[in-house]
Amino acid sequence: MNEEKNNGNRQFVRELAISAILLAICIVSQFFKNLNVYITGPIVNLCLVMAVMAAGLKWGLILAVITPVTAFFIAASPVMQAVPGILPLIMAGNIILVLATWKLFKPAVENGTSIINPGSIIAAAVSAILKGAFMGLTISRWLLPTFIPAESPLRGKMAVFQMTFSVTQLITALIGFVYFFIIWIPVRSTLQKDS
């Protein structure tokens, strides 16, 4: 019984440590958010996928909720400040990516075949599309047009904001999966040695 409890505690500490490292990577990347969304976005999406794959679903969900909050405090864009309702929708988009990764992508890369296989590529694409479509419909098509007042100077940048919270979300999620494909093999072998 004690052996089982110790193994459970060890597993929890391992998952917590992995998640803390991934959160730290996300936070550091968010300092570069105002330079280029294509730096921060793929790294955050990579960390969400990595959390699911290396630590489990609950840790991926925790990161999905925390990372938009840290982004808001580190480098909130004017549109995030003007429409704070965007935060829960970004969290929901991240949660969709995490759940899709858990249900679709994780089984495609854990069955013993090569990590890059037709199933894993399709699962990654579908996961990214689900996130991008959700954020595009809820943020780009509904939230921003509804809650940015007509007289606001932000209205002039509406097309940019709508692109950022739809197509850009899809692209950065896809890039995050590409990064995952590149680094998962050495990470997985390290994790297997440690367990």
d(CA 61, CA 19): 11
pTM of the model: 0.93
Element (H, E) at 111: none
**Structural domain tally of the chain?**
1
Question: Dihedrals φ, ψ of 84, to 5°?
Answer: -65, -20
pLDDT digit string, tens, across residues 35-73: 888 999 999 999 999 999 999 999 999 999 999 999 999
Angle CA(172)–CA(176)–CA(177) in degrees, nearest 5?
Answer: 120
CATH code of the domain covering residue 17: 1.10.1760.20
Residues of the domain holding 118: 2-194
Instruction: Report CA torsion sign: 51, 55, 57, 58.
Output: negative
pLDDT digit string, tens, across residues 116-151: 899 999 999 999 999 999 999 999 999 999 999 989
pLDDT digit string, tens, across residues 164-176: 999 999 999 999 9
